[in-house]
Structures are given as structure tokens and as C-alpha cells.
Amino acid sequence: MENADATTTTGSSPFHLAGAFAPVREERTDLDLEVLGEIPADLRGTYVRNGPNPRSGWSPAWFAAEGMLHGVRLEDGRARWYRNRWIAGTYANTSVIRHAGRMLALVEAMPPVEVTGDLETVGTYDFGGALGGPMTAHPKICPRTGELLFFSQGHSRPHLTYYRADAAGRVVHRAPIDVPAMTFMHDFAITERYVLFYVLPVLFGDARSAVPLRWDDDFPARIGVLPRDGGNEDVRWFDVAPCTISHTVNAFEDGNAIVLDAVRAPRIMAPHALHRLTFDLASGRAAESELDPRFLDFPRVHPAVVGARHRRAYTTELCDFRPDGGFSRTIARRLDLETGAAIAHDFGDGAMPGECAVAPRPGSAAEDDAWVILFVHRRDGAATELVILDAARFASPPVARARLPCRVPFGLHGEWLPDAEA
Ligand SMILES: [Fe+2]
């Protein structure tokens, strides 16, 4: 493709190469961004977001491209810099985390790639040799223990391996899990004592196709519940209705049951809805109910409630979803899971808010005592803004907006990385 910039979008481009999704062609560094409003002085850190950005300007599918990180540094009430960098030579395009002082760019098909605070690539990171394969792009950091919990999948046995690293980043537990095949497991969940694996009827098909997934009616849909320090023999498998799960909202223990909120669909490449699944450890049975019928994806909760009971979730509603997986409009929504309310923040016509990151107020673990940080993209290809909302007043005007000097493509997952934890 000659030029995939949003300003030259044509009607024939696939969704992921046009409009707000179109890749950018350059790496840049811009200092001292223009800010409207007031950036809270105690927000000190970097917001970083990952996403596919093909170097050539063309890719066969949204997810099949080199990864690019976009970062905005907040300090002393100012937006000190914006940087974007390709993750050198790799497709680590899905998410970014920081654990034990190490910042990692992740994609589920590869081991992590370590990057610096300035978003420069260091290289592949394998936990000192302990990680023998790829790593999920959705590991969980336990807010109580500081542990990093994650899994690895492979086409050959064991198809699934569970890992737990301590707060210092050392792998202290590794357990192969016996599953019949490598399934499309994009996310998983943790509670205070358990981890949950989604072994669902979405398998890998023709690797040459843009989306190499296939649905298998004969493959049993099961969710495995495993004690955090357990092995294959400790897994309790729960039969669930055939489905696919894109992302976990959160999970927690409730007496003898485990409650999982997740973004779920009855088949692949279909609009998802928000469901609550409950696993009764006494009876061995699962139950399921719909929390919200809308396609509310990119769910995030306050980092202090990961694995514990949550009330709030921040989501991105995907509107006008198409069979090719594309969507052309998004709405930021904060959910109240006690009342069922789904409050929207209206960014106006032509805005495409991306995933919300939750930035706790330093020293507070209260769910509402936080800011919500996100990129707001423009469908017409205009420059992107970094927006800061008050979590407790989600629908109110932003606390601050930092104007980026350029467009950031609509991407995947972002994270607030406060200095205090570095
Ligand atoms: Fe994801």
C-alpha cells in the first residue's frame, strides 16, 4: 500500500488500515505537550499503550503487524513528552506491563520483549531461562502478593503451562496443564487463591489465513479452576455453554463459589456481551448470566481489586461491529456492577476513545479514588489527545487533556506505570 495514512483513507481499505486505525510511518519524540485543564500533581509516571503498526503500511489483519508503543510522560502537572517507538523487529503488539521493575511488551505468540522507560527495545526476556515459550499478553499482577501470574501455550504438548513469578520476578512455580489441544485462550483470571483457564472450542486453523481460528462444535467448552500453587492433578474442570471469551473483567471468591466477569460471545467473530459466570466448588457446577448485552470490551478494573470483589469496571463499547472484526465507533463506559448502570463519557462526534487505564491516587486503594487515563482518537485522522478523567465523576468534563502533536492509531492495551512502583 502506497500510503495508509488516515488522511488518505479510501473506502476499499480494510478497517485496520484506514481512519483511526491507520498505521503511522515515523517514530517521534515531542517535548512539553499543550495541556488543557490541570494534570493532577500526584500523577507521576508514564502512560504507555501498545498496538499493531505495520512498518510497510500494510498488514493482512489488524493483529498481524509489528508492535508500536506510544507513551506520554506525566510529571509535576505537566505532560513532559510523547514518544512512539516500534518494538524492534517483533510482533509484540498487544499489551505492556511492568513487573519487578521490568517493562515488557507482550503478544501471546512470543516471549516478552523488554523495553526501557523511554520505550527503546532491550530484547527478548525469558525470566532468566525459566520461560520456555511464548507468554500470554494478559498476565495478572496480584495486588496482595506482588506476584505475576501467567501462562504459556504451544501447539505441541504440554499445550498449556501455568507460571507464577514472585514479586522480585523469579519464577517460583511452573505447572504443565493437560488440555486436549492448543485453544485460542487470550486471557485468564485470578482470585486470591485460584487461577482460571478458559479452554473453549476455538482452535487454530489455517496459519496462512488472516485470522487463523476455527470453531469446533465437538470440542467441549470447559473452564479450569486451579489453586495458585497447584498442578495438573488439582484442576477442577467446569463445563460451560460453548462460547469464546475475549477478555476478563475480573474474578473473585464468594464463599464456596468463584465469580468471573468476562466479555463473552456464543461463537467467534461475533459481537460479545458482558457475562457473569459462577463456579460452585461444592457442586462442581457452573452458572451464567448476562450482565450487559452491549459489546463492552477492553474491560479494566482498579489494580487493587484484581482477584478480589470489584464494583467498577471501565470498558470500551465497540459499536457498528462488522463480520471482519472491524468497528468504527467506540464509547467509553464505566459500569457499576451493583446497580447495573453503564455511564458513558461523551467525547463528542468523531471521537474514538481507546482502552481506559486506571491510575490509583497514590496511597489509596479505593475503587473510585483514581483517575482514568486513555487516548481519544479521531475518526477523521486528526491528532490524538491523552485524556484524564476523575473515576468518581466519569461523565464530567475531563480533568485534563494533553494534546499530542500527531495521530496515534487506535490500538490495543495500555497501562499507567506510576513512578512509585518502578
Ligand atoms: Fe487483549
pLDDT digits (tens, 9 = 90+) for 367-376: 999 999 999 9
Residue stretches of the annotated binding site for Fe cation: 138, 186, 247, 413
Give distance in angstroms: CA of 264 to centre of ligand 1. 13
Residues of the binding site: 138, 186, 247, 413
Q: In whole angstroms, what is the distance from residue 143 CA to residue 364 CA?
A: 13
- For residue 107, the CA-to-ligand 1 centroid distance in Å is 9
Q: Quick one: pLDDT at residue 61?
A: 92
Quote the pLDDT of residue 325: 84
pLDDT above 90 (res 206): no
Closest CA to 19 of 356, 373, 314, 320: 320
Separation of alpha carbons 287 and 309, rounded Å: 18
pLDDT score, position 10: 45
Alpha carbon distances (Å) from 379 to 5, 21, 329, 333, 412 = 12, 9, 8, 19, 16
Phi, psi (5° rounding) for residue 404?
-80, 155
Under 8 Å between Cβ of 251 and 216:
no
Ligand 1 centroid from CA 246, angstroms: 7
Question: How much is the pLDDT for 369?
Answer: 96
Reported as type and span, the H/E element at residue 372 is strand 370-378
Q: Mean per-residue pLDDT for 388-404?
A: 98
Does residue 240 carry a pLDDT above 50?
yes
How high is the pLDDT of residue 421?
A: 55
Closest by CA position to 33, among listed 103, 100, 83, 69: 83
Phi-psi region of 57 (alpha: psi -120 to 50; beta: other; left: phi over 0): left
Percentage of residues in the chain having pLDDT higher than 70:
97
Q: What are phi and psi for residue 358, nearest 5 degrees?
A: -100, 120
Q: How far apart are CA 103 and CA 163, in angstroms?
A: 18
The residue to which cell 500523577 is assigned: 43
Whether the pLDDT of residue 80 is over 70: the answer is: yes
pLDDT of residue 8: 38
Distance 248 CA to ligand 1 centre (A): 9
pLDDT-derived band at 106 (thresholds 50, 70, 90) equals very high
What is the whole-number distance in angstroms between the Cα of residue 184 and the centre of ligand 1? Answer: 12
Task: Determine the distance separating the centroid of ligand 1 and the alpha carbon of 238, expressed in angstroms.
Answer: 23
Which grid coordinates belong to 147? 506476584
Residue 212's pLDDT band (boundaries 50, 70, 90)?
A: confident
pLDDT at position 269 over 90: no
> Averaged over 401-413, what is the pLDDT?
98
Residue 11: pLDDT band with limits 50, 70, 90: low
CA of 187 to the centre of ligand 1 (A): 7
* Residue 233, helix vs strand vs coil: helix
Among residues of the chain, what percentage have pLDDT more than 90? 89
Cα-to-centroid distance, 205 and ligand 1 (Å): 20
Provide mean pLDDT across the span 77-81: 98
pLDDT at 3 over 90: no
pLDDT in tens, 26-46: 999 999 999 999 999 999 999
The answer to whether residue 360 scores a pLDDT higher than 90 is yes
77 Cα–ligand 1 center, Å: 30
Q: pLDDT for 175-201, tens place per residue?
A: 999 999 999 999 999 999 999 999 999
**210 vs 357, more confident:** 357
* 22 CA → ligand 1 middle, Å: 19
